[in-house]
Structure 1
Amino acid sequence: MTDEAIGKIKDMLIRGELKAGDRLPPEKELSESLGLSRSSLREAVKALELIRVLDVRRGDGTYVTSLDAKLLNEAVGFVVELHQNRSILELFEVRRILEPATAHMAAGRITPEEVAALRATMDGIDEDTNIEELVAHDLEFHSIIAAAAGNDYLSGLLEALSGDTVRARIWRGITQEKAVAHTLAEHKAIADALERGDAELVRALVTVHISGVENWLRQAL
């Protein structure tokens, strides 16, 4: 019954009867119009609140969220954080498909300010840098490229696939292998190609970059 209620609310959103920012009708009115019990509707609302489709404001009512791509992808990110090492390999396969294409798009759109921001993420990063700083650098570097591509759904999905926990696991292994300098050299080459607007080279460099980490992880497992 809860699944049915979720489906009916989803249909209202798809049909445009509810839009981003709209307030839902009162519980009694909505349950009657949808032919649902109030308890089923209540459970559906809780579930849709968890995945950031609805926003329950105590004392005010229930609203449709902005339905922003990054907001909705938070649920994907939560699941990704729970994945174990074998599953991380599958995530890297997905990243190997998506990130080169994203970087290819970014090459034609990135601004000089974004290139400068990319280079700034590498300042002060070396073999002695702690895990937290390495993770922050890696997240920011790839996030800037995704944002430069100009596609919110794509950047939101990539962000969800590359959470702090996943990156921390990978970086711990990389630092054990003393490969930070190699990774930074690859980041610099990517930034250089982006600055030149060489989309095909960027795609190739990012493919090699992601594949290298994926291959290291595959051997480690």
Structure 2
Amino acid sequence: MAVTDEAILKIKDMILTGELGPGDRLPPEKELSERLGLSRSSMREAVKALEVIRVLDVRRGDGTYVTSLEPRLLLEAMTFVVDLHDDDSILELFAVRRILEPAAAALASARLDHDGIGALRAQVAAVEGSSSVEELVAHDLEFHAAIVEAAGNSYLTTLIESLSGHTIRARVWRGLTQENATERTLSEHSAIVDALEIGDAKLAEALMVAHISGVERWLRQWTQGTLESD
């Protein structure tokens, strides 16, 4: 094991054992390196690495602190990696969405109240057949985000948001090239809301699978050059 990796693991252990918690300040570099039996240079590299993935916050002239360790903060690195993927890899991202979002819909079915359902219906009603592709994409993002948020799992929310952001271009392409994309999207969204309203987790889950699979199927045809009008 590289010395820097060892330093990272030792700092991680300090956090896991509760010796260091969110917002705590790390001991000075010299003290920490002596305490852990590591060189100051390896400790410095470890701190830099943990700063990149938002575990530590280095404040010049003040010290190094453990961040809030909130999911959205810690998963920023994943968002960066996802954004680097090319269009061929986006099919794999859709496959992950097809696994995660139906689960989120099932969880949301037990948590959405009357106001939450009303807000979802209002989002669907706000889109018209004459709406632009950009407006449809904005609605789609807002609709899915509201359901995921209602699931009540912050890690799940952040994971899905990082995947959804990268798939915007696919949604735009679909809107530009596929007939009846707006009507189809709104119809599928309405059906999902109906299932959520009656609290049918299995139905909401199945409808979300079908909804995402439709875009995934279109994208696969597009990347293979076999796209045909439905």
How high is the TM-score relative to the length of structure 1?
Answer: 0.91
Given the alignment of the two structures, is residue 83 of structure 1 paired with residue 80 of structure 2, yes or no? no
The whole-number CA distance in structure 2 between the counterparts of 1:94 and 1:130 is: 28
Gaps of at least 5 residues in structure 2 are 224-230
The whole-number CA distance in structure 2 between the counterparts of 1:35 and 1:131 is: 59
Please name the residue that 1:121 is paired with. Answer: 123
Shift of residue 180, structure 1, vs aligned partner: 2.2
Please name the residue that 2:52 is paired with. Answer: 50
Q: Secondary structure at the match of 2:111?
A: coil
Shift of residue 43, structure 1, vs aligned partner: 2.0
| 1:162 equivalent among 161, 164, 168 | 164
The whole-number CA distance in structure 1 between the counterparts of 2:108 and 2:51 is: 33
Given the alignment of the two structures, is residue 203 of structure 1 paired with residue 222 of structure 2, yes or no? no
Q: How has the CA–CA distance of structure 1 residues 130 and 27 changed in structure 2, closer, same or farther, with 3 Å as cutoff?
A: farther
Q: How has the CA–CA distance of structure 1 residues 132 and 40 changed in structure 2, closer, same or farther, with 3 Å as cutoff?
A: farther
| 2:146 equivalent among 144, 147, 164 | 144
1:93 is aligned with what amino acid? A
Please name the residue that 1:193 is paired with. Answer: 195
The whole-number CA distance in structure 1 between the counterparts of 2:217 and 2:151 is: 26
Asked if 2 retains the 8 angstrom alpha-carbon contact of 1:135 and 1:167, the reply is no
Gaps of at least 5 residues in structure 1 are none
Shift of residue 79, structure 1, vs aligned partner: 0.9
The whole-number CA distance in structure 2 between the counterparts of 1:101 and 1:60 is: 43
The whole-number CA distance in structure 1 between the counterparts of 2:132 and 2:50 is: 38
Asked if 1 retains the 8 angstrom alpha-carbon contact of 2:134 and 2:172, the reply is no
Q: How has the CA–CA distance of structure 1 residues 8 and 133 changed in structure 2, closer, same or farther, with 3 Å as cutoff?
A: farther
- Which 4+ residue blocks in structure 1 deviate beyond 4 angstroms? none
The whole-number CA distance in structure 2 between the counterparts of 1:172 and 1:94 is: 20
1:169 is aligned with what amino acid? R
Q: In percent, how many aligned pairs have the same letter?
A: 63
The more displaced of 33-42 and 101-110 is 33-42
Please name the residue that 1:36 is paired with. Answer: 38
The whole-number CA distance in structure 2 between the counterparts of 1:162 and 1:25 is: 39
Q: How has the CA–CA distance of structure 1 residues 132 and 51 changed in structure 2, closer, same or farther, with 3 Å as cutoff?
A: farther
The whole-number CA distance in structure 1 between the counterparts of 2:79 and 2:209 is: 22
Q: Secondary structure at the match of 1:122?
A: helix
The whole-number CA distance in structure 2 between the counterparts of 1:44 and 1:63 is: 13
The whole-number CA distance in structure 1 between the counterparts of 2:71 and 2:102 is: 20
Q: How has the CA–CA distance of structure 1 residues 215 and 127 changed in structure 2, closer, same or farther, with 3 Å as cutoff?
A: same
The whole-number CA distance in structure 1 between the counterparts of 2:158 and 2:219 is: 24
Q: How has the CA–CA distance of structure 1 residues 124 and 71 changed in structure 2, closer, same or farther, with 3 Å as cutoff?
A: same
1:173 is aligned with what amino acid? W
Q: How many residues align?
A: 219
2:67 is aligned with what amino acid? T
Q: How has the CA–CA distance of structure 1 residues 137 and 36 changed in structure 2, closer, same or farther, with 3 Å as cutoff?
A: farther
The whole-number CA distance in structure 2 between the counterparts of 1:40 and 1:135 is: 47
Q: Decide which structure has the larger Cα Rg and report it.
A: 2
Asked if 1 retains the 8 angstrom alpha-carbon contact of 2:137 and 2:172, the reply is no
